[in-house]
Structure 1
Amino acid sequence: MITDSEKSAKESFLNLKAYKDFFKKDIEIIHFPSSQEKLDLLSQIERNYAIYKILAGKNWILVFSKDALSVKVRTKENFLKDIINIKKNGELNREFLIEKLYKLGYIREEFPENEGEFSVRGGFLSINIPKVGIVDIDFFGDTIENIFLKSKILTRKEIEEIFILPLYDFNVKSKTPLIFEDEESTFFRDYLKNDIYTLDIYEDLNLPIKGQFYSKFSNPEVGAIKDITQEFTVYKIPLKKELVLLNEKTAFLPEVEEKLELDVEPLKEGDYIIHEDFGIGIYRGIETREIRGKVYDFMILEYAGGEKVYVSYLHFDKIHKYKTNSIIQIDKIGGTSWRNLKKKVKESLKNIAKNLLEIYSKRQNIYRPPLKTDDELISKFEREFPFVETPDQIKAIKDIKSDFSKPKPMERLICGDVGFGKTEVAIRGIFISVINGYQALLLVPTTVLAYQHYKKLKERLEPYGIIVENLSRLKSKKENDNTIKAFEEGKIDVLVATHKILHTNLSFNKLGLLVIDEEHRFGVKAKEKIRQIRESVDTLYLTATPIPRTLNMALSGLKDISVLNTPPEGRYEIKTYVSNFDEELIKKAIEFEIDRNGQVFYLHNRIETIKETADFLKNLAKKA
């Protein structure tokens, strides 16, 4: 179906998906975006998938705007040549596959968390394939021994064959900056053949059109909401616009999203569920049975091999709805998979809880010499802060000083919104720790944040002779190794690093303070590994959104908490807007901020195309 605009194409796509789900039709609804911005990876993924479906066969409906007809894409021959077909027991050189993935635009990472990423571990390749999921390929030499499709809960299903599609419209020649190979192309219209329909198209598209539809003309069979009477059957589905069929006495109305704190969506027959005792199964409805003269309701659950379990209403609390976008493999009654998974989870939780209990029990009894907190140098450092501290910042700093003055390790959570001054509170703690003869380690979740903290700490602390360094994947291995060695020898006072430092055999000279920024983005094991190395270390957690475990520890007394509720002077409430990509809107927002002498932070999601994005912004906002 061809529409008159991209907006209309997206609305039609969503409406068709809603009708398809309602009528349970085994047909796929596909959208071919018209955006020709080379940095728009998602649109190119959708386009390649659409072309693949066109070439693969029937059972789909493709929706796109008339502008998409002129989008340049691979020729049919090149597209088929670029698809990677992997079969179990087939022969394929591993290095050739890796090189091919690079050409198709895939990025090598330690773990393929996002679509279009892959990782290599010995004879294993893990590829996060768009529209498919994470696929593990097991090589023995050049022979593909096994192919597994991994679900989001990391269960694996063995498959025989998989197709890997290109990410971009053309093969990638260079990633930074993003440059495509110069190859033969064609217009998307050349892929179209029969059964083409149009919506609100008044011009000749020079295509074999089978049917034409117009939304602006009246149809005697289609009414409005005001025409609905009690005789009508009304369905609410996620539509963009209502459809009232007068002859059929049927109305389809847009489903209004209700804001509820709990998911109260009822179970429907065919939904996947998890039973606490039996694992993943399929809900097959409710059956009423009479037992000894009394009527009882039983929920019917189907498992592998067609086996069924009848669950009494007394045990409905053991059943939970299961939602996932991955392929689901249901469990077998009497099988070991669910039992083993539960056993592993329980053992893992027990071990973590045991280790945490041991660590915090020891920390309560560990002696750490009280630190000096009223030194003249500390007062001088505080006076040089160029801004006025908020009342909550002053209280948090006093809390930290009080903790340092006690003969046991500090365990404090600093909780406050973005921009409320958590970093400055941490800097005061770092300064006090270092002038008392200790080293400080600041852990952050990302390389960018590590560099920002490094610059700020260097600016504030180096005038006092405090040596600050950082570990970064942007540095060479030799530079990082030298930094680690210097820190171990005590030549560096403050080290800023990401969680990758936890995977090194780092030994500490005299670590006194551990600061964990955005602690909610670190795993439990990662945060506790440092303290296992040195249990007497003082610890500060910085977060805007504390995870339930940390908050529970704070409320139960295992951790102390300081809350920054007071915004700095001149800071207003944050307003968040969600919108489709709109150049004009971005331009207006940037110019508004620049005109009031503000700054703009533009977040981009792929490093290899960040230069093109910067160039795009320079051209868009001339004032910046």
Structure 2
Amino acid sequence: MVLNNLTKLYAATAEFQSLSASGVRAFTIEGISPSAFPFIVATSFNTLKQQTIVVTTDYHTMNRFVADISAFVNEDTIFPFPALEVLPYEYVNPSSSIERERITALYQLLSGKPVIVVATIESLLRAIPHKEFFLKKGININKAEEYPFEVIIETLINYGYERETRVDRYGQFSVKGGIIDIYLPNAANPVRLDFFGDTCESIRYFDPMTQVSLEHVQTITIYPRREILLSPSEKEKIQKELIRGDSNLNQQAVSSLQKNNVPGIYDLFPLAIETDTLISFAQNPHIFLCDPGQLKAKLSEIERTYHQLYNHKKETTFCLPASQLLHSDSYQHIEPQAVKLSPFITDSNNVWQLKSIPSFQGRIQDVRSECAKRIEEGWHIVVSTSFEGQARRLYDLFNEFKPQEQFDTYNPNKHFGIIISNLHEGIEIGSIKTCIITDHEIFGKSYRKKKHFKQKYSKPIDTFLELSPGDYVVHINHGIGIFKAIERMSAGGIERDFLVIEYAEGDKLYVSLDHINMVQRYVGLDGRQPRIDALGKKSAWNRIKERVQQSVEEIAQDLLKIYSQRKALKGFQFPPDIMWQEEFESKFEYEETPDQITAIEDVKDDMEKSQPMDRLVCGDVGFGKTEVAIRAAFKAVMAGKQVAILVPTTVLAMQHYNTFTRRFADYPVTIEMLSRFKSQLQIKSIKERLKAGAIDIIIGTHALLAKDVHFKNLGIVVIDEEQRFGVKHKEHLKKLRLLVDVLTLSATPIPRTLHMA
């Protein structure tokens, strides 16, 4: 919601006031860019704080809308409601991620809180159980009240939750002694219920990775994991209808009804449950239809598909008519009361000044000219990108406009700003004289930074759960022992489970499950048994820890000495990027990855400092490390410095030579290669020209480290796969690091390479 302030400014305009005066009902806005749809909805939501339902054409458009509107409103208030994304009558269920998004959106609407639910036309039409079906399923758990512990576990199983040893994703629960962890569908983090007997002593949300408590609450409501949870009587109704048929599919469905997750239940539940649509779950919502023309075309396509599939399947298996799965008339019901957002013009009285931004296709000077012209006319310019590396690049490119250095806030008082947001396209907002330009319009390329990555953490508790009596374990404070058992004991008047670890001379250590992160499985050489440590002062573990600590301190002192010397050195401070650098980078034929741009900006920032650069760029083969080196080399050459590219093999030298030659073809840069592919006469000539400064970029193997190789004005050394060089060569490279900027590229981040960086 970095651009939340823009919606406040826009809410005061005559354009928006006309919408507000209509009660956000039965209103049409025409001739606006589709990129403005989220901005209009966000302004309405931020101003009126009313439940809002947005209807889009398909899954892709829905996700794009969700990403765009997050730039203007709090992300915690935005919920997608996708279609099932499976064909009807195929008797398969949607993915767990779609199930979660759907049921979360439904329960958010039922809560009555002001939220934005973004749906597709299909998810709007598709039949779902009526809201009373959902309301009666919620179970409230309050702190300090009593609940049958085993009944809660049974209820979770009946509600479709999967019992696991550790919860790390939606729809799971685990039981550890008197603790129940649940990952609810409507929560960002799992919740932990701590029971003493049948009394709920505490309720708190926690981080599933670190297990650290985040927030204590007084009450929670447990909802079913799935959208459709059948009671025994409802199962019986469906079963009777299916038994009438005699197909194999029907027989399989009858047998699967005894389970909670029935394949194809979304195609069968209308047999036993009254149906409704998404709209009925909201309380007096504001409804926005994005591009009604496209929505009607999509509606016709969906109806046609459902009817065709029904006619094809009904002869061989039991199928409900399409009219029972689709509420086609719901669109006609909401259309008269909805706000229609259309890019086309049919009535000039309803045209708002919200236009798209043309693409500059990497012509940076044109962008500068347009921004300067707009600012002179009193406009505000907001440049948006989805990741920090690109933001820093844009800051350097448009530094003349003095943008703010923080990218997570927007200052409406400044005429030029750079922000990080998920916007896909820009908007020209004429009524408040503001232009939002994305990096897509500036460079002509779409840069999308992944919002979430899979993270790997150590999981001590998983290791514990895999233990068997007799396994060796390591306690961080007491060393190696033998796992014996798990015993339930009373400590401080509270019963807890304890891990029992046996040490030398039969001594035993009891570790509470609350401190299980201090214990790990012992990992050693196969077939070799470790020495068991003793508890107390006799333990050799303490002496080992002291020696390790001493070694760490020595390494730290060495590193401190090296870096203090490096800080004291004064290297060449490269100037900021010039126009040729911008032009050179814009000619890159591929779309840079966000991490690639971040690496490029980090390298160029280091080069512009007074201390010599020593940076390691690590990435897999084919992920663009060479382009990082090419741009650093271009920057050095433009500053009048020479560049040395050092590679371990002749073949790699030839590959780099071809790549550099192609990229620098349009510029007066001299590039040569020094390797065994050259004759002795050619090598002699190259060395003489290198010494005279006639060669800008030299690419070679370890031959570049020979004593008779001299540079006139060396500025940067690029080392590719340093770990493949010998010890003597590495000592030479260490000396280079004290003299010039060094950029190391590696696809194998072994400790030695990281240590030298």
Larger radius of gyration: 2
Both proteins in one fold, TM over 0.5: no
Higher strand share: 1
Identify the structure with bigger relative contact order (alpha carbons < 8 Å, sequence gap 6+): 2
TM-score, reference length from structure 1: 0.41
Higher helix share: 2
